[in-house]
Structure 1
Amino acid sequence: MTLTNLTKKLTLSVLGLCAAAFITSCSDDSAEPTPTTGEEQFVVSIALQANDATFTYYTVPFNDVMTGKLSAVGQGIEQPGYYDFTQIDKTIYSIGGLDDVNVVGISRDEKGALKQIGDVSFANSLADIVKADENTLVAVEMAPNSDVIKFHTFNTNTLTVKSTKQHPVSAITNLKAPFYAGMSISNGYLYLGYYVADPKTFATPNTDKAQIAVFTYPGLEFQKVIEDTRIGPIGGFNTKTALIKTEQGDVYAMSHSNKANGFSQSTKPAGIVRIKSGQTVIDPSYLFDVAAVTGGKTISHMMYLGNGKVFVEINTADRAQQASWTDGPLKSAVIDLNSKTINYIQGLPEHAGQGRRLAALQDGNNVYMTIPENKAIFVYKINTQNYTATKGAEVQATFVAGFSKL
């Protein structure tokens, strides 16, 4: 079996655990296209699986996500293949994965309708795209079967490549293959979080420390790898959110070493460490002992909210009993990086993830996300101030790949 096929098999197996049971029809003739307005609209990237197990994604605007049913019938931007969605400012970027190696921007035209901007392809699919400044995005290309890591800078308006810089994988590790965990740019540096796994078996025999590669920005010159033996490797398979940046420019990195998200073993506690703004060392004075706060649990996904608060998905299974490649069972919560406390969200069912980037939207004091429940998928509006959730519309989808607002 080739690496690409094995990756596809593993990725789809994770999706299948969470999505196959929730496949719904997209043939509701009563569904009407959402009228286009000049106001901001919710935009949901709906994934539908065909009988041959292939996926098609529909990125669709909706005025209301809290009532009725959300369907892709007769509307939206269609993309067959496998795509990951991330919003940066007023553009959604759909990043092709597996055999799809293109990137497309989705924004709104002068009449408010969704439009595509740019369409650029690479030798390998991009691991992620992050904002560097008002005019520049930085993407990283790091395939498990490649011996180089490539950084591409883009013009934010046209999605054209401005420059490419590459480094040998051997600069950051002499072990097997580095898998992407997260990336952040702050105060003159680019921080690249990763974990190491066997590119054929995906086994992770080296879990005794966290590693983050440091590059200059904008020069993208390699500086060094910084390590921390208090926790295990950074991030997990395909989740992409293990590094977050605060308003002060501090970068926080999360480790879980959980079988639910790609690890074959765990040897260090789950936790979060910090890199102070402009520094190239992990701060030895800071450690958020996640296991101590959660009673031995781990964090699988993170989304920074502001003021030191982070929306997280907590895996409620003990690591020793955790089933592999399940991305669950999960409970949603808000953690405080400063006080090192946690508040669980009330009114949300325990749920499975999707084995990929968390599809969630922060809109003021609320987070919108979808949760599979009773063989259906529902939107939940989560108040991050009082830690309560309200159930919203049903989404006619196999799973939701992106939740945005334009």
Structure 2
Amino acid sequence: MYHPVKTFLLPCLLILFCCVSCNQNNHQDLSPSKKKYSMYILGKDGKEYLLETDSLNSGLVRPEDKGALLDGDIMDRDIIVHQGYYYHLSRKKASFEKYKLNGSKLILLAAMPLKDFSIENCNWISNDTLLLTGLNKSDYTQVKYISVNTAKMQQTAAGDINIARPSGKFTSVSIGFVELRKDKMLLGYTYNEQLSSSNYSTSDTTYVAAIKYPEMQLIKTDKDTRSTSPGGTNTIQSYSFNDEQGNYYFMSCPGIALGNRPELPTGIFRINAGQETIDKSYFFDISGSVIQNHAYGIWYLGNHKAIIRSERKDLFKGLSDHYSTAHFEFYVLDLLKKEIKKLDLPLDKGTRRECVIVKDNLAYIAVNSTLNGNYIWIYNMSNGTLKKGLQLAGDTDFILREDQLN
């Protein structure tokens, strides 16, 4: 039976519901985090957490109390942290996503489709422009790029980069670094050989391609055989930097945990300011120095000093316990004098980690110590002293990364 009151009320209620829903969406807090630092924690039971803090100098934090418990199916440690937001490629959904941390919850703010793409490196071109370089997921043989407007979460450019595909015994390519210099892009890479379903090795050559930017046209390719596996995935660990004069340094990583050519030395290369090829007169042989081991990760301190994180091959059996055994040491390098000084820190565990923040003449070094606990150690570059800072306790097993939020 027709009822004029009910017929009138139903559309009104629907309109009201839509207005309330739209109003809630419009008032969702999209602002970035105001905190200063974030940490990605792997717990003792395999749980993963993301937490934020304003200080690394002191105190104690338990991730299960202060952090957001993460869904391991959609989140991983290879997040990109920038100006209060978190960006991550969800492989399961083939989606590039933008998040913020709101107390104990990680909030998805926006997403864009990103299919057949595996991120190897990222570079911020401007505050809202992110250049992603990577490979096709089908067989990891084609170098690709995507430029993203992160304010709108929209793709602004994409395509293939004409790097020679692997051939012969080599089955894939890996990108180790990307450096932008005005209208040029320098891309470091090498080729990989699949030895078995779970093992691979690497070419004995480091390649550096000079590419016209933003046209992404290959100009020339430089080669160097003093070491291989230049850099690595910089969303997991840092491998390169510019000094005050604009000289670009990058580390090679031929150890068993990356290039798997351990007979070659871990070394530091340099590309001089204004140049597009490797400086053949410069090579800092880390493995041939007093360290006599391979290293993974390098962080610039300023004034031609840097910190590296080096393995101790006498303390682990192989790749099976490389991650779980505390055997890493930290060293300060003088890049010009090629001098090395060991830092008096506990042995660290975890193969690849983003574990150094440099700020205000201090280096905040995250150390996962089996015997002494998980702490942020503070290295004073002025006087060379070390002291304990923030402790990560409770469920913390590994501090996988620490980042500056703002």
Q: Which TM class, normalised by the smaller chain length?
A: 0.7 to 0.9
Query: In the alignment, does 2:167 pair up with 1:170?
Result: no
TM-superposed CA distance for 1:313, in Å, is 0.6
User: Which structure is higher in RCO with an 8 Å CA cutoff and minimum separation 6?
Assistant: 1
Residues 84 and 339 of structure 1, relative CA distance in 2, 3 Å threshold: same
1:387 lines up with 2:384 in the alignment: yes
Q: Pairwise mapping of residues 7-406 of structure 1 onto structure 2 (< 5 A)?
A: 40-48=35-43, 55-63=47-55, 66-73=58-65, 75-76=67-68, 78-81=70-73, 82-88=76-82, 90-96=83-89, 99=92, 101-106=94-99, 117-123=109-115, 124-143=117-136, 145-167=139-161, 170-171=164-165, 175-199=170-194, 201=197, 203-235=199-231, 240-259=237-256, 261-317=257-313, 323-324=318-319, 326=322, 329-346=327-344, 348-353=345-350, 355-374=351-370, 376-392=373-389, 393-395=391-393, 396-405=395-404, 406=406
Aligned to 2:58, the other structure's residue is in SS state: coil
In structure 2, how many angstroms separate the alpha carbons of the residues matched to 1:60 and 1:193? 33
CA 250–388 in structure 1, closer or farther in 2 if over 3 Å, else same = same
Deviation at 1:235, TM superposition (A): 3.3
Report the secondary structure of 1:126's partner residue. strand
Output one character per residue of 1:65-91: Cα deviation in whole Å (capped at 9) or x when no partner: 621233243654845332313434x24
| Cα pair distance change 1:99/1:195, threshold 3 Å | farther
1:73 counterpart SS class: helix
Aligned-pair CA distance for 1:193: 2.4
Q: What letter matches 1:42 in structure 2?
A: Y
- What is the distance in 2 between the residues matched to 1:192 and 1:125? 16
Output one character per residue of 1:181-228: Cα deviation in whole Å (capped at 9) or x when no partner. Answer: 232222432222233223554645544322223322222222333211
Deviation at 1:61, TM superposition (A): 3.4
Task: Please report the TM-score for the alignment, with normalisation by the length of structure 1.
Answer: 0.75
- Once the 2 structures are TM-superposed, how far is the Cα of residue 139 of structure 1 from its aligned partner? 0.6
Counterpart CA distance in 1 for 2:346 and 2:277 is 39
Contact persistence 1:202–1:262 (CA under 8 A) = no
How far the C-alpha of 1:287 sits from its partner, in A, is 1.4
Aligned equivalents of 2:58, 2:95: Cα separation in 1 = 32
Inter-CA distance 381–40: structure 2 relative to 1 (3 Å threshold): same
Distance 1:214 1:60, change over 3 A: same
> What secondary structure is seen at the aligned counterpart in 1 of 2:287?
helix
**Equivalent position amino acid for 1:222 in 2:** L
Q: Contact 1:91/1:105 (CA < 8 Å) preserved in 2?
A: no
- Counterpart contact for 1:42–1:65, Cα < 8 Å: no
How far residue 177 of structure 1 moved from its aligned partner, in angstroms, is 0.7
Q: How has the CA–CA distance of structure 1 residues 290 and 243 changed in structure 2, closer, same or farther, with 3 Å as cutoff?
A: same
Report the AA paired with residue 129 of structure 1. C
Give the C-alpha shift of residue 391 in structure 1. Answer: 2.0
In structure 2, what is the Cα distance between the partners aligned to 1:132 and 1:270?
29
Specify the alignment match of 1:14 in structure 2: none
2:13 alignment partner in structure 1: none
Any stretches of 5+ residues in structure 1 without a counterpart?
A: 1-37
Letter in 2 for 1:178: V
Write the distance in 1 (CA, Å) between the matches of 2:353 and 2:218.
26
Letter in 1 for 2:383: N
Highest CA radius of gyration, 1 or 2?
A: 2
Equivalent-residue separation in structure 1 for 2:80 and 2:141 (angstroms): 26
2: distance between equivalents of 1:165 and 1:197? 22
Deviation of the 1:138 alpha carbon: 0.8
1:147 partner amino acid = T
- Unpaired runs of at least 5, structure 2: 1-32
The Cα of 1:106 is off from its aligned counterpart by 4.8
> After TM superposition, which residue ranges in structure 1, 4 or more long, deviate above 6 angstroms?
none
How many residue pairs get aligned? The number is 360
Secondary structure, counterpart of 1:127 in structure 2? strand
Q: How many angstroms apart in 1 are the aligned matches of 2:289 and 2:361?
A: 24
CA gap of 1:64–1:284, structure 2 versus 1, over 3 A, is closer
| Structure 2 contact 311–328 (Cα < 8 Å) conserved | yes
Q: What CA distance in whole angstroms lies between the structure 2 residues aligned with 1:243 and 1:74?
A: 32
Q: Is the contact between residue 201 and residue 260 of structure 2 (CA under 8 Å) also seen in structure 1? A: yes
Does the 8 Å CA contact 2:364/2:378 hold for their aligned counterparts? yes
Paired residues of 1:104 and 1:116 also in contact (CA < 8 A): yes
The DSSP-based 3-state class of the residue aligned with 1:161 is strand
Q: Hey, what's the Cα distance between the residues in 1 that align with 2:309 and 2:296? A: 6
Distance in 2 (alpha carbons) for counterparts of 1:62 and 1:384: 21
> Deviation string for 1:28-86 (max 9, x for gaps)?
xxxxxxxxxx9753322233475xx5x54424335456212332436548453323134
Is this contact kept in 2: 1:47–1:398, CA < 8 A? Answer: yes
Q: Equivalent residue of 1:83, what SS?
A: coil
CA distance change for structure 1 residues 160 and 303 in 2, over 3 Å: closer, same or farther? farther
Using the size of structure 2 for normalisation, the TM-score is 0.75
The 8 Å contact of residues 207 and 268 in structure 1, kept in 2 or not, is answered as no
Q: Within 2, Cα distance between the matches of 1:128 and 1:49?
A: 29
Indicate the SS of the match to 1:208. coil
**Structure 1 stretch 79-88 or stretch 302-311: which is displaced more?**
79-88
| Backbone CA RMSD of aligned residues | 3.5
